[in-house]
């Protein structure tokens, strides 16, 4: 219970990991609770017990695990993390003035020498190691930032994990739609099988199930994709680099390694 409390209490864990897992299960939970909850309070108790015994933690762990696995594939496809790409001389996400300002701040504030455009062109991998090391050090110095930077980090993690859970989410939403049609008696097992007239008054349980399932299905299909994750990644990168001018002088005296192999 302590682990679950900490999981829900932490804003990143709650919004970026728990919420995607719960949204996957929502199309199936709604009809179970609405249809059977009042008639079978034991079922409601079992669902609550499962949540208390670790179902929430399990959903969050699955979302995180699938998200990290997806991120590895996306990084290979993109050619690096957005924070690394944005610092490259050859990338044009940041305007030249801002990029030069961030490069100078990394050198003066973090004690990390940024390669020139010629050095980057001659050895891109070595240059990326420097950018990765600078980003890692900057994240270490901004972990206490609970304002806009944390919100953008949460947004990136949420979009990444939602995309990772997309196949499961589509299946659960389709099942929710199917079950909603059945309990609304729009679809029936015995002939005639299709009663569209029941759409006029599907009932509360069926209406909620159909509304939530169809809304989530539309979100999975139309919004959560690789471009959305990439966009959130670059927005987070920009917010992270905007923290450079506000670093204290004590941070600039702590020399960080020039490069690190991972980000």
Query: Once rounded to an integer, what is the mean pLDDT over residues 195-204?
Result: 73
Task: Calculate what percentage of the chain has a pLDDT beyond 90.
Answer: 57
| Per-residue pLDDT, 263 | 43
Task: Calculate what percentage of the chain has a pLDDT beyond 70.
Answer: 81
Checking if the pLDDT of 148 tops 90, the result is: no
The strand ranges marked E within 129-203 are none
| Per-residue pLDDT, 33 | 80
| Per-residue pLDDT, 85 | 97
**Can you tell me whether residue 106 is helix, strand or coil?**
helix
State the pLDDT confidence band at 40, using cuts at 50, 70 and 90.
low
Half-sphere exposure of 253 (CA within 13 A, CB side): 3
Closest CA to 66 of 212, 229, 262: 229
By CB atoms closer than 10 A (0-12, 13-18, 19+), residue 216 is: buried
Checking if the pLDDT of 52 tops 60, the result is: no
Cα–Cα distance between 100 and 105 in angstroms, integer? 9
Q: Which domain holds residue 94?
A: 1-263
Bigger pLDDT: 209 or 199?
A: 209
Query: Once rounded to an integer, what is the mean pLDDT over residues 72-89?
Result: 96
| Per-residue pLDDT, 257 | 45
State the pLDDT confidence band at 157, using cuts at 50, 70 and 90.
very high
Write down the mean pLDDT value for the chain: 85
Closest CA to 202 of 188, 189, 183, 219: 183
Checking if the pLDDT of 252 tops 70, the result is: no
| Long-range contact set of residues 246-255: C-beta below 8 Å, sequence gap at least 24 | 247/105, 247/109, 247/110, 247/141, 251/109, 251/110, 251/141, 252/108, 252/109, 252/110, 252/111, 253/111, 254/111, 255/111
Output the six-digit token pair for 33. 């609770």
Domain count, the chain: 1
């Amino acid at each position: 219970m302590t682990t679950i409390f900490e999981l829900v209490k932490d804003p990143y864990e709650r919004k970026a990991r728990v919420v995607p897992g719960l949204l996957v299960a929502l199309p199936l939970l709604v009809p179970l609770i609405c249809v059977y909850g009042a008639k079978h309070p034991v079922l409601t108790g079992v669902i609550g017990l499962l949540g208390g015994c670790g179902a929430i933690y399990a959903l969050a762990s699955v979302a995180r695990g699938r998200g990290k696995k997806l991120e590895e594939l996306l990084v290979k496809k993109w050619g690096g993390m957005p924070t690394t790409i944005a610092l490259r001389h050859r990338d044009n996400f940041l305007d030249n003035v801002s990029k030069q300002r961030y490069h100078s701040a990394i050198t003066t504030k973090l004690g990390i020498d940024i390669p020139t455009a010629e050095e980057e062109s001659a050895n891109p991998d070595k240059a990326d190691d420097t950018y990765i090391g600078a980003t890692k050090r900057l994240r270490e110095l901004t972990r206490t930032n609970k304002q806009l930077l944390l919100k953008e980090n949460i947004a990136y993690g949420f979009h990444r994990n939602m995309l990772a859970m997309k196949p499961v989410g589509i299946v659960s939403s389709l099942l929710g739609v199917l079950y909603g049609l059945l309990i609304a008696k729009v679809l029936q097992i015995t002939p005639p099988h299709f009663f569209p007239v029941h759409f006029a008054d599907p009932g509360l349980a069926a209406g909620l199930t159909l509304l939530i399932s169809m809304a989530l299905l539309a979100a999975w299909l139309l919004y959560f994709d690789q471009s959305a994750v990439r966009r959130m990644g670059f927005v987070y990168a920009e917010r992270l680099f905007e923290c450079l001018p506000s670093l204290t002088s004590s941070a600039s005296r702590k020399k960080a390694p020039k490069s690190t192999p991972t980000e």
